[in-house]
């Protein structure tokens, strides 16, 4: 009977203490969790002592069954209170996340934010048009991807220096061709002046 009364008092006390405030309070949550942990330790110690007393009685099994039932009920009540705290904590976290989402959405939908986005879009379009115009003036197709490295300006002196060896090589080649043609003509002239050659007959075998 004494244990039943204490169990009832524990349940009523837990119901009174586990009522969460209207707004989630982290400090209240921490205090409640400390209380639940302390009451759980006390219940385990108390019912452990009661189990030891049962072995001194005549009806040991009945006593143990009664004590364990009371312990189970007490621990389930503490667990229920803990679940209430967990639910309240999750609800508070969800509400805070929803509030942040709504705040960001409101900032995106505000006239000032829309005006800033429009201005950024116009500036981006102007930059693209300016880049296309400069590309068209240079007469080159727009690049497929990535920036194009600027081409160095042409150096007249360097171009002339590079063209001089090529001109000398071309001149030497033409001179060799001219000399080869002269040698060919000279050879043909000498052949025409010598006339046809007569070959000696082969000796008759004895």
The domain tally of the chain equals: 1
pLDDT in the model for residue 36: 94
- 168 pLDDT above the threshold of 60: yes
Residue 10 lies in a domain: yes
Q: What is the mean pLDDT of residues 50-57?
A: 86
Residue 170 lies in a domain: no
pLDDT band at 20 (very low <50, low <70, confident <90, very high): very low
Give the Å distances, CA to CA, from 143 to 123, 129, 133, 147: 21, 14, 13, 8
Ramachandran class of 205: left when φ > 0, alpha when ψ lies in -120 to 50, beta otherwise? beta
| CA-CA-CA-CA dihedral for 42, 47, 50, 54, to nearest 10 | -170
Q: State residue 34 phi and psi, 5-degree precision.
A: -65, -40
pLDDT band at 41 (very low <50, low <70, confident <90, very high): very high
More confident residue, 87 or 132: 87
Q: Name the nearest CA neighbour of 63 among 75, 49, 76.
A: 49
Residue 144 lies in a domain: no
Measured between alpha carbons, how far is 39 from 46 in angstroms, rounded to an integer?
Answer: 10
| CA-CA-CA-CA dihedral for 20, 22, 24, 29, to nearest 10 | -20
pLDDT in the model for residue 5: 42
Give the Å distances, CA to CA, from 85 to 11, 79, 103, 112, 200: 16, 10, 27, 41, 134
pLDDT in the model for residue 118: 80
Residue 57 lies in a domain: yes
pLDDT in the model for residue 154: 52
pLDDT band at 117 (very low <50, low <70, confident <90, very high): confident
Residue 81 lies in a domain: yes
Residue 102 lies in a domain: yes
pTM for this predicted structure: 0.41
Residue numbers of the domain that contains 69: 2-111
pLDDT in the model for residue 146: 47
pLDDT in the model for residue 42: 92
Residues 6+ apart with CB under 8 A from 4: 70
More confident residue, 139 or 138: 138
């Amino acid at each position: 009977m004494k244990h039943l009364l204490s169990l009832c008092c524990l349940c009523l006390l837990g119901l009174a203490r586990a009522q969460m405030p209207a707004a989630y309070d982290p400090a209240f949550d921490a205090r409640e969790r400390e209380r639940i942990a302390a009451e759980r330790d006390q219940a385990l110690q108390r019912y452990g002592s009661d189990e030891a007393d049962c072995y001194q009685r005549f009806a040991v099994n009945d006593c143990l069954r009664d004590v364990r039932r009371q312990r189970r009920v007490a621990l389930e009540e503490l667990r229920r209170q803990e679940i209430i705290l967990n639910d309240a904590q999750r609800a508070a976290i969800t509400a805070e996340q929803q509030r942040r989402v709504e705040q960001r959405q409101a900032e995106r939908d505000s006239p000032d934010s829309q005006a800033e986005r429009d201005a950024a879009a116009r500036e981006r379009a102007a930059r693209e048009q300016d880049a296309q115009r400069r590309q068209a003036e240079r007469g080159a197709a727009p690049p497929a991807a990535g920036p194009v490295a600027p081409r160095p300006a042409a150096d007249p002196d360097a171009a002339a220096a590079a063209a001089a060896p090529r001109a000398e090589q071309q001149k030497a080649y033409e001179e060799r061709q001219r000399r080869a043609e002269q040698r060919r003509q000279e050879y043909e002239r000498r052949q025409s002046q010598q006339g046809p050659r007569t070959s000696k007959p082969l000796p008759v075998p004895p």
